[in-house]
Amino acid sequence: MNDAIKTQISAFVDGELPQNEAELLLRRLCQDVELRNQAAEYLAMGRAMRGERAIVGVSMLRERVAAALDDKELQEEFAESEVAAPRFMRPLAGVAIAATVALVALIGLQQMSDVPDVETVQGGEAAAGVTDDSYTVPEPEYDPLSDYYNSHDASSAHIGFDSITPRLITYEIRDGRLVEMELTDVPAENDEQDDENEETSSADTL
Amino acid sequence: MKTRRRQLIATVFVALGGIVAATPCLAADEIGPDDWLVKMASAVQTTNYEGTVIRLQNGKSDTLKVVHVVTDGVIHEKVVVQEGDGLEIIRNGNEVQCILPDKQTVRVEEWNDQSTLFSSLPSTDIQFGNEYDVSIVREERIAGRKAVLLAIRPHDEYRYGHRIWLDIATGFPLQTKLMRDDGEAIEQVKFADITLDKEIHASALAPSTSIENFRWFTQPQRKINHAVDSPWNSAELPSGFAVKSTHEEDLPGRDVPVIHILYSDGLANVSVFIEPANDKKFARRSRAGASNSYSVENDGYQVTAVGEVPAETVEKIAISMQPN
């Protein structure tokens, strides 16, 4: 990526790129992963520098806390926060058209990076715990995959590269809110073929 | 030869790290990529820093304020999420507090490792062989500091690549990218601003508000049993992966311990968990950020591979696991 295109992306993100150039750049963004990453990075830096605090709720974490504490008020608030409008849907009064285009591009980035038609792995419900004066100890949860992810993280942290994902697995920005990161079940297009392969593999060992 | 050299360097990196760190004025082109890794390992382990971190993942971003201090070998950290309700995560040694100020609630966890709270920074024990190439790409400026871009490129599709921007003066990683083989960044962590190795007052590590009267709750501590010999192994591991540990582990909801085998190629790690199959449904494939898992039933056992590697890798390893 040369400096010229970086400058163009920067201008685009800042809402300073003429509309005709913005449209051309959008086409390139749709076709070029590296350009999209660069645009996303500039948008993120812009938000950081502006100190935007536009996200509502800590929904999944709240839900877990509310369940553990049996806090009805907190649970109700959590339920309300579920229907709060995403930040990108908020009115953008006075925003120049190019800036609007930039927001559209960011939404596009999010859509492109999402996995369609995924199902959430059902985790165990956090049970009300045994309470003493200062601590509430939740009953153990049975969420096998989450347990595996956490155990893997704890065991491998001293080897190789330490990914941010396990450490902040609880905290992900999604749809405009800070939520507990879900494990997503990724369906395969060729599960039937996989089954055949696995049967073959098992048969080979018998 | 290259492998032996890297392993030797990694083995003695503590000693060398001190020497390299003591010579911060070297120009980027005066030391090789392996030396930069040594310098980085030392910097990550010893540097105190304070700054703003931007994390990009799946086209989404979040911003964190981070303070990191190491005192007498004990890690003290504070991370404040800049969005939402101002969630704060504070670490003092092994105890980690997750504070929700608006709800006056604190969740306490215990961590028994030395990893940092927030980042994909490399850990201190880096030993990898011929599965990757390391090269210096160019110099750039990150967070207002001169940085050298280091590329770690895998030779096959079974692991991710890394791009690391190291502060030329200290070797500290200012930006990291985890890359797929098609060049797409899976995860990126970048300092927007950073202060390195300046005195950080203790108040910077304290909660922003008094938590004295907050409600606290704890997570049960994870129990790990002793190392064991396991009959399970894989005859088709991707090249470079080897067993690092095998132990039994008590996990919630299980009547019997789970066998946990940890594989590593020196950079990428994969855990394989084996437990008797039961009526609980496992997702065959799942992912969380850059991590993937694949679960398969084999000979009456549920075998699940989890790691920060492509989905194909965990699938290959899980399917190939067999009892002797």
Contact B284 A171 (CB under 8 A): no
CA distance A142 to chain B (A): 5
Query: Which of A34, A48, A202 minimises the CB distance to B298?
Result: A202
* Among the partner residues A69, A152, A172, nearest to B215 by beta-carbon distance: A69
In this complex, do B291 and A109 lie within 8 Å of one another by their Cβ atoms? no
Determine, for residues B288 and A134 on separate chains, whether the beta-carbon distance falls below 8 Å. Answer: no
> Does residue A3 fall inside a structural domain?
no
Tell whether the model's pLDDT for residue A135 goes beyond 90: no
What is the pLDDT at residue A48?
52
A15-28: average pLDDT: 69
A188 interaction partners in chain B (CB closer than 8 Å): 284-285
Weakest mean pLDDT among A83-87, B126-130, B279-283 = A83-87
| Partner A contacted by B264 (CB < 8 A) | yes
User: Taking CB atoms and an 8 Å cutoff, what residues of chain A touch B287?
Assistant: 115, 183-184, 186
Mutate to test the interface with B, among A13, A152, A200, A202 (most CBs of B within 10 A): A152
**CB atoms < 10 A from the CB of B135, how many?**
11
Closest Cα in chain A, distance from residue B157 (Å): 17
B184-187, long-range: CB within 8 Å, 24+ apart, which pairs?
B184/A33, B184/A37, B185/A33, B185/A37, B185/B56, B186/B57, B186/B160, B186/B289, B186/B290, B187/A163, B187/A164, B187/A165, B187/B55, B187/B56, B187/B57, B187/B120, B187/B289, B187/B290
The candidate with the shortest Cα–Cα distance to B274, out of B225, B222, B322, is B322
Partners of B309 on chain A (C-beta within 8 Å) are none
Q: Which of A86-90, A138-142, A164-168, B248-252 has the highest mean pLDDT?
A: B248-252
Mean pLDDT for chain A overall: 47
DSSP codes, B89-119:
EEEETTEEEEEEGGGTEEEEEE--S---SS-
| pTM value surpassing 0.80 | no
Domain residue ranges of chain B, discontinuous segments joined by + = 2-218, 223-323
pLDDT for the residue numbered B9: 32
- Quick check: B8 pLDDT over 70? no
Q: Using CA atoms, how far apart are residues B216 and B95, in angstroms rounded to an integer? A: 13
Residues of A in contact with B126 (CB under 8 A): 160
- Spatial neighbors of B72 by CB under 8 A, at least 6 apart, are none
Query: Which tokens is B259 given?
Result: 């066998």
| Domain-embedded: residue A181 | yes
CATH topology for B223-323 is Phosphorylase Kinase; domain 1 (3.30.200)
On whether residue A64 sits in a domain, the answer given is yes
Give residue A181's domain range: 56-86+117-185
The Cα angle at residue B156 between residues B309 and B305, in degrees rounded to 5: 30
Q: Does A116 touch chain B (CB under 8 A)?
A: no
- Residue B68: pLDDT over 80: yes
Nearest-angstrom CA–CA distance, B258 and B209: 41
d(CA B19, CA B42): 10
Q: What is the ipTM of this complex?
A: 0.76
Q: Is the pLDDT of residue B159 over 50?
A: yes
In CATH terms, the fold of domain B2-218 is outer membrane lipoprotein receptor (LolB), chain A (2.50.20)
- Let me know if residue A2 belongs to a domain: no
Query: Do residue A155 and residue B107 have CB atoms under 8 angstroms apart?
Result: no
pLDDT at residue A20, as a whole number: 63
Q: Which of residues 5-64 of A touch B (CB under 8 A)?
A: 33-34, 36-37, 40-41, 43-45, 47-49, 51-58, 61-62
Highest mean pLDDT, choosing among A6-15, B101-110, B204-213:
B204-213
A107 domain residue, yes or no = no
Residue B236, pLDDT above cutoff 70: yes
Asked whether residue A104 carries a pLDDT value surpassing 60, the answer given is: no
Q: Is residue A206 part of a domain?
A: no
In a domain, A133, yes or no: yes
**Structural domain count, chain A:** 1
B262 touches chain A (CB under 8 A): yes
- Whether residues A142 and B215 touch (CB distance < 8 A) is answered with no
Q: Do B267 and A160 lie within an 8 Å CB cutoff?
A: yes
Kindly state the tokens that stand for A138. 């939740």
